[in-house]
Amino acid sequence: MSGKPLLEQLMQALRCLPGVGPRSAQRMAFHLLERDREGGRHLARLLEASMERIGHCGRCRTLSEEAVCALCANPRRSDAQLCVVESPAEVAALEQATDFGGRYFVLGGRLSPLDGIGPREIGLDLLARRLSEEGTEELILATNPTVEGEATAHYIGQMARERGIRVTRIAHGVPLGGELEYVDGGTLSHAFAGRRDY
Amino acid sequence: MSGKPLLEQLMQALRCLPGVGPRSAQRMAFHLLERDREGGRHLARLLEASMERIGHCGRCRTLSEEAVCALCANPRRSDAQLCVVESPAEVAALEQATDFGGRYFVLGGRLSPLDGIGPREIGLDLLARRLSEEGTEELILATNPTVEGEATAHYIGQMARERGIRVTRIAHGVPLGGELEYVDGGTLSHAFAGRRDY
């Protein structure tokens, strides 16, 4: 550790956390040092252990400290449905919001040839193997509605269709509680074009 | 560490940081694990070292990894003015905002007899010694304008006056850029009663 005062170094290090600027970093450092040293020590131990021991599930690529994560290892979940997302945070969000009882596959990114991110980098070889071996009946595309997200969804949809698997995409449109007047144009035009019988 | 998944424990531990709820803790954990493991390890090392090695300055009681902090050790600062604050964060705030060139004394709390916090607990024995020995000419009271803060200021003001030291209190009133209409009643009545010749 360099010659700068430890307190300054700590404030700087806290800024690696998302959403933490200089003011919050200062507040956090003072809070821990003055009111919660045990909490600070506990956090240090868990950060250390987590960075070392949490890797990726060999089956769905989500974050996991075991070789196979709890969701993949759960025998009560159905292999018939496989939901493809971009990141582990999205698995957590879907688990909290839905009663989906199938399996997941985490890309860890999206196709972006210009950045050197091709099918291999987002694990599509592993996905292809699963689609061929596991009796998947429905592949649910839950990538984000960005240009790369859509391209990735398109590519994976093709892979599944070639194997005779039904492909669905989660709905994009006006969020619940949203007012048309305040929804951005892209979302609104998407929602309008994607209208359904009522 | 207990039987809960490490990732859940990490999210829980991150919540010891002020202003971090379940959603931000989740976001922080995923961010570090997926995009900045080196940052996470660095933060762990600095938290650990800081909690162990940062103590309090023997002269002004602010946070310091040395026996005497950099401000107290600086020979270019004047002993004639001594500013009394409640916490180390307030020393940092004053240093950033003002060009004060004197010394500080950090109470680390405020008098609150019902909670067992008397003069000793906030270091007034040490302050008394400094006032007697250091040739202080002006004692600046910068405790917060709460009931206990005012009581503490009053008590310390007495101590200084008994030693023939001039006592000042930082101004409280309408903040710069504040509009009278939106300032709380207490502040407004304080500002009105404390009006000065113009």
3-state SS, B164-180, equals CCEEEECCCCCCCCCCH
Domain boundaries, chain B: 78-169
- Domain B78-169 sits in CATH at 3.40.1360.10
Do the Cβ atoms of A93 and A87 come closer than 8 Å? no
Task: Please give the pLDDT value at position B5.
Answer: 92
Instruction: Report how far residue A175's alpha carbon sits from residue B97's, in angstroms, rounded to the nearest whole number.
Output: 44
pLDDT of amino acid B25? 96
Neighbour-count burial of B46, counting CB atoms closer than 10 A to its CB (0-12 exposed, 13-18 middle, 19+ buried) = buried
Residue A128 CB coordination number (10 Å)? 16
Task: Quote the minimal CA–CA distance from B191 to chain A in Å.
Answer: 28
Residue of A81, A87, A131, A134 whose CA lies nearest to A107: A87
Reported as a pLDDT band with limits 50, 70 and 90, residue A2 is low
Confirm if B138 and B160 have CB atoms less than 8 A apart.
Answer: no
Could you read off the pLDDT of A51-76 as tens digits, one per residue?
Answer: 999 999 999 999 999 999 999 999 99
CB contact under 8 A, A6 and B46: yes
Is A13 in CB contact (< 8 Å) with chain B? yes
Interval A158-181 mean pLDDT:
90
Indicate if the pLDDT at residue A82 is higher than 70. yes
Helices B37-53 and A6-14: crossing angle, nearest 10°?
150
Which position has the token pair 């003072």? A30
Least CB-CB distance to A65: which of B6, B30, B40? B6
pLDDT at A1 over 60: no
Model pLDDT for residues B101-158, shown as the tens digit of each residue: 999 999 999 999 899 999 999 999 999 999 999 999 999 999 998 899 999 999 999 9
Structural Rg of chain A based on CA atoms: 21
Buried b (16+ CB within 10 A) or exposed e, A13-46: bbbbbeebeeebbbbbbbbbbbebeebbbbbbbb
- Using CA atoms, how far residue B113 sits from A41, B145, B152, in Å, is 31, 18, 11
DSSP for A21-50 reads: -HHHHHHHHHHHHHH-HHHHHHHHHHHHHH
Q: Show the tokens assigned to B144.
A: 């917060």
Q: Residue A156 and residue A150: Cα distance in Å, rounded?
A: 10
Query: Is the Cβ of A9 closer than 8 Å to some Cβ of chain B?
Result: yes
pLDDT tens, residue by residue, B72-103: 999 999 999 999 999 999 999 999 899 999 99
Is any Cβ of chain A less than 8 angstroms from the Cβ of B154?
no
Query: Residue A103 has which token pair?
Result: 């399996």
Q: How far apart are CA B24 and CA B14, in angstroms?
A: 9
Asked whether residue B178 carries a pLDDT value surpassing 80, the answer given is no
What is the three-class DSSP state of B155? helix
- What is chain A's length? 198
Length of chain B: 198
Radius of gyration of chain B measured on its C-alpha atoms: 21
* Residue B82, beta-bridge partner list: B103, B139
- Contact criterion met (CB < 8 Å) for A7 and B37: no
Average pLDDT, chain B: 93
Q: Provide the pLDDT for residue A181.
A: 83
pLDDT of residue B2: 61
Q: Is the pLDDT of residue A183 over 90?
A: no
For residue A103, the cross-strand partners are: A82
Closest to A100 (Cα-Cα) out of A76, A123, A121: A76
Tell me the average pLDDT of chain A: 93
Average pLDDT score over residue span A28-38: 96
- ipTM higher than the 0.90 cut: no
Taking phi first (over 0 means left), then psi (-120 to 50 degrees means alpha), and beta for anything else, what does residue B135 get? left
Cβ–Cβ < 8 Å for B110, B117: yes
Share of residues in chain B with pLDDT > 90 (%): 81
Residue B140 belongs to what H/E stretch? strand B138-141
Q: Give domain A79-169's CATH number out of 3.40.50.10800, 3.20.20.70, 3.90.600.10, 3.40.1360.10.
A: 3.40.1360.10
Test the A interface: residue of B50, B74, B110 with most A CBs within 10 Å:
B50
Residue B189 clears pLDDT 90, i.e. is over it = no
Q: Is B67 an interface residue toward A (CB < 8 Å)?
A: no
Q: Tell me the nearest-neighbour CA distance from B190 into chain A, angstroms.
A: 28
Q: How far apart are CA A154 and CA A19, in angstroms?
A: 33
